[in-house]
Amino acid sequence: MRGFPKISLSQALFVAILLVLGLYIYMRGEGFDVSASSSIASPALPCAMGYWCPISSGKNKGYRCPGGTYGSSTKLDAPQCSGLCKAGCVCPEGSTERCPSPCPAGYYCVEGTGGAVPPLVCPEGYYCPESTVDPKICPKGVVCPPGTSALP
């Protein structure tokens, strides 16, 4: 009767390490997907405008630029993106322009409005037309309650 071929202890350890490593890679889902491969290699893609992609994330995942910021170029790698939204404007999450929409009438907007900083209600005694950065003083003979957007 023929038995298994004899192998050395070092050969057995090497095979065991390969099996454990293969199982680890399989369990983490980090293996190369042969079914998705082709004979032509795919080029890397830059992070899109309005997004930032952390360096060496290994997840091929981009994140929208936070509200109050904008991403006007590709390949951004930090959540600050291209910078803060312009005063007098509102930048929702994923904005690609410094001023994608004007501050609404009845409110004023500081630099970076659109995320954690919402448009601010125009205070009593002032009025705020669209795109206001600094509330304007209400003239004599006119009452301006909070949120006033125009004069009569």
Strand partners, 120: 108
- 52 contacts 63 by C-beta, under 8 angstroms: yes
pTM (2 d.p.) = 0.67
CA–CA distance, 22 with 17 (Å, rounded to integer): 8
pLDDT value of residue 56? 61
Which pair of structure tokens corresponds to residue 51?
A: 């997004």
Arithmetic mean of pLDDT over the chain = 81
Lowest mean per-residue pLDDT among 4-8, 53-57, 83-87: 4-8
Among the ranges given (8-17, 54-63, 137-146), the one the predictor scored with the smallest mean pLDDT: 8-17
User: What band does 7 get if pLDDT is binned at 50, 70 and 90?
Assistant: low
Q: Give the mean model confidence (pLDDT) for residues 64-82.
A: 94
